[in-house]
Amino acid sequence: MPKGHAETGWSRNNLKKFFGKSSLIIDESAAFRLNHDVPLVVAEINGSLVKENPPKLIASPNCTTAVLVMALAPLLKHSPIKRAVAASYQAASGAGRTARDGFLKEIETMAKGKTRACGEFPYALAGNIFPQIGRFLESGFTEEEEKVMAETKKILEAPDLAVSATCVRVPVLRGHCLAVWVELEKPLPSGNLAGLYQNFPGITLKEPGAAPLEIAGQGGVSIGRLRRDPLWPNGLSLWVAGDNLLKGAAQNVLQIADLLMTRPEPA
């Protein structure tokens, strides 16, 4: 499997050198996301953590986590979440530029009737999918799955949340999608479930659910396929899609910066 993103190792080794020169740092790598003293921020959900008393270092989450928590956080206005299960369908660009470029080469090769792995993936991605993103760990989960589960708990401030994820790489250039199953502690509202998401910033509702080509280049996330799940009490199933390069990365960092720049001046 591909090695961890280079910026994680770089951040661990170098960011502390800048603490005396910068008033604050927003880190998009995985280096400090789970540190207890580093807030892990999705602007629409817990931006208040950094607006009043910004720390020296702020972390932005994994691209898949950012999309998932945008689907879960609005539900907390109605009820605590008992458990959540997610299956992700992650684009090639989520693994970085080299992986993206290799995937494009694979498409050209496949058009010539051949199959050859050209990027950082263990198999050819063009015309293929595989349920492994990052190394397999002793738990049986992959590094990516462990990140998604741990980061979701931290962002939602729900350390005891029962959450499980299966992360799958799919032959898509840009845009991460997830199928999500959620069980709430309280009964679902009667009528249209779309009301659970109305007026939450950064969310658009689209039935029957957005595809990667639709959300590429679009900010925020799209929620669709909302339905009552027949297997779980108070359960619902949904589809969420977001641009991994925007809400999953650059957009969220810029939103955090906006929060910091617009905070009131101290008295």
* Distant-in-sequence, close-in-space partners of 171: CB < 8 Å, separation ≥ 6: 92, 103, 125, 126, 127, 128, 129
What is the domain partition of the chain in residue ranges? 62-91+129-244
pTM exceeds cut of 0.75:
yes
Asked whether residue 154 carries a pLDDT value surpassing 90, the answer given is yes
Read off the amino acid at residue 155.
I
User: Residue 4: its pLDDT value, please?
Assistant: 42
The alpha carbon torsion through 231, 236, 238, 244 (nearest 10 deg) reads -110
Q: Could you read off the pLDDT of 7-65 as tens digits, one per residue?
A: 777 777 777 777 666 678 899 999 999 999 999 999 999 999 998 788 889 999 999 99
Question: Over 80: is that where the pLDDT of 6 sits?
Answer: no
Residue the block writes with tokens 């899609």: 241
Structure tokens at 91: 């684009």
Confirm or reject CATH 3.30.360.10 for domain 62-91+129-244, answering yes or no. yes
Answer for the pair 51, 255: CB distance below 8 angstroms, yes or no: no
User: Does 3 have pLDDT greater than 70?
Assistant: no
Are 69 and 156 in contact by the 8 Å Cβ rule? The answer is yes
**Which residues participate in catalysis according to the annotation?**
63, 176
Q: CA geometry: angle at 59 spanning 158 and 260, to 5°?
A: 105
Q: What is the pLDDT of residue 85?
A: 98
Mean pLDDT lowest among 69-78, 102-111, 142-151, 256-265? 256-265
